[in-house]
Amino acid sequence: MGRIFTRNRLIGLAFAAMIAVIDQIVKWYVIGPLQLRQVLNIELLPFFDLTYVENRGMSLGMFQATSMEARWILVLLTAAIAAIVFVWMMREKLMGDILSLAMILGGAIGNIRDRYDLGYVIDYADFHIGSFRPFLVFNVADAAITIGVVIILARSLFMREKEDDEPDAETASDSVPSEN
């Protein structure tokens, strides 16, 4: 059994921590100095606003925590998912896989901290084209989780394609003509 904390995995853990810290700093900034909780909306660009949202649900606002029990169930559920991602990351060797899992882990930690401390996740990033909003209001943690998942899916698709294109050892030995 190899070492658990290899250089790549330590970099992944540091990257996850960095994402969680950046997420919390940005949330502090929009709530504190920008006072987004009080003003509710700040127009920055024609296609981007800061809009204060208390997200009491999980992905895409599903599984709303409308009671204290539901809040703690969501904290435990998201912590369990984060633990699974952590174990998965500790089993990976390739930096691309580790960093994409680190993005998911760091984002999960940032959102878990909100839910634990506040009972909801603070969302603020609001992309739009006029009144059309292709995304829900989100935060740095949500973006990191989404990008990490997309990278994992893309890598698994392309890595599988690459592996399928390469003949395995048994198939290669079957196609070599025998000298008998």
Torsion of the alpha carbons at 162, 168, 174 and 179, rounded to the nearest 10: 100
Per the rule left: phi > 0, alpha: psi between -120 and 50, beta: everything else, 61 is left
Query: Nearest Cα to 83, choosing from 44, 57, 63, 112?
Result: 112
Question: What strands lie across the sheet with 121-127, from one edge to the other?
Answer: 41-45, 48-55, 121-127
Backbone CA torsion sign across 112, 124, 105, 85: positive
Active site residue 123: yes
Identified catalytic residue from 97, 114, 123, 126 = 123
Choose among 62, 59, 37: nearest CA to 122.
37
Catalytic residue, candidates 97, 114, 126, 142: 142
- The answer to whether 142 is a known catalytic residue is yes
Q: Which residues are catalytic?
A: 123, 142
